[in-house]
Amino acid sequence: MRPSLFFGIVCLLIFVSCNNKSESVVDSFEDIDILKHADISISKGDQKIVNAVASKLLKDETYIFLKANYNEIKSSEIRSKLSQIMIESPSYSSLIRNLALDLHNNDGNVRAEFYGKDQEVVSSILYSDSAQINNRHNNMVAEGNVIIYSPTTNLMLLGNKVLWDNRAKRILSDDNVTIVKITEGDKSPCIQKSIGFESDMDLSNYIFYNIKGQIGEDCF
């Protein structure tokens, strides 16, 4: 049997499905509030906006928490390597994306796909160590080794914490972020750092705040 959770919030809804695995009480969460290998969708009306996958889901009256496996040795090693490359070599976009996917395949992070009007096309893909979704507004906060890649704009965001504003359909961050404009073979990619950033879900129509250095005229 494949249990599911359904939350109706005005015109927004969240549908959660998981396999039939469960686990015992953890902290203050009861059995019914803990799901393993969860797949959760955020929709507005009939349109799916976000689809997220995590190895563990916990919920209370206010939030849904998406967690990963933080104790497994292999995933810890991948996460450590990913963190180092994100800081020291942000231009290695292909390696960063491959490590993030490898980490997810080892239950080591959360993966979320964002969809525009064409629900057959993924606007961007997010990876993070964890995420939480507000039950009322369906806003999502992703934290830890945050990577957002858009195959439609060939831009990638690297940071530690971002907010998805579900009503405004905007990605927001008040923290240090690095934006990489990906080039073929990672040859001479454009890199811009700032403290604060916002954009559409595909990293287009972006705004940099507190820019570090100068923005290359041929880059952004």
Q: What is the pLDDT of residues 120-156, one digit of tens each?
A: 789 999 999 999 999 888 999 999 999 999 999 999 9
Domain boundaries, given as residue ranges, for the chain? 4-212
SS3 86: helix
The reported pLDDT for the residue numbered 5 is 37
Query: CA angle 197-53-46, nearest 5°?
Result: 80
**Residue positions counted in the chain:** 220
pTM: 0.82
Architecture of the structural domain at 4-212: Sandwich (2.60)
Quote the CA–CA distance of 117 and 69 in Å, as a whole number. Answer: 33
What pLDDT, on the 0 to 100 scale, is given for residue 216? 67
pLDDT at 29: 43
Cα-Cα-Cα-Cα dihedral sign, residues 32, 37, 42, 45: negative
